Structure formats: C-alpha cells, structure tokens
Amino acid sequence: MVKLNTQKIINGIENSFLKTDLPILKIGDNVKVGVKIIEGNKERVQFYEGTIIAKKNSLINTTITVRKIFQGIGIERIFLIHSPKIDSIQVLRSSKVRRSKLYYLRKLKGKASRLKQTFS
C-alpha cells in the first residue's frame, strides 16, 4: 500500500517536469537539436544535426540517439529529451524505415547510408 502511494507521488513530480512543446520524433528523422552550453558566465545554444537511430521511451527518461557524420567519422550522441539542457528539437526531414533501431547505419558509408525520404 505504501509503495503504491509513493509511486503516485513520484509520477506526479515527474509529470511536472515533462516538456509539452516537443515534436513527434520517429526513428529515421533528421533532427536539429539545440543544446544549451555554459562557458564561464555566458550561455549559448549549440545545434547538433543528425539522424535518429534509436529511441527509448520511459516517461521523463525518454532518450534519442542521434548520429551524424563529421569529417568522415560517425559521431553518436544520446539526448535526454526532457532535460533542461535541451533548448529545442526541430524535425528537418522524415525517412521511411522498417526497423526500430537503425544500428546497421554504423557499418555503411557514403551514399549507402542514405535513407529514403518521405514527404508528408
């Protein structure tokens, strides 16, 4: 009985921190994520642009893994989308995919790693 009440309290607190202005994110979307960077006493927004290759849903702990190619090297970064450090998420393009995780893109290079774009 006590465990049930504490879970309700925890869920209530977590729900107050959830962001409501997020776009619908799908696997294969090309996104632009604005991350707040603090340098000394200044704060700025740095954008990270890439393809969502994985998504993990668990309320406040929802994460997306974004992959981009920089100077021929693949870079992946995991973002906690409800984090206060995430300023904005913008969907640039959507792609047609048939997998829930696109880890196979790690092995592909160049034109082979492109995804078929959907127009909607």
Ordered domains of the chain (ranges, CATH): 2-95 (2.30.30.790)
User: How is residue 53 written in tokens?
Assistant: 């290759």
What Å distances lie between residue 95 and 32, 45, 53, 66, 84, CA to CA? 15, 26, 11, 14, 28
| pTM for the structure as a whole | 0.86
Q: Please give the radius of gyration of the chain, using alpha carbons only, rounded to the nearest integer.
A: 17
| pLDDT at site 120 | 64
pLDDT in tens, 25-64: 999 999 999 999 999 999 999 999 999 999 999 888 999 9
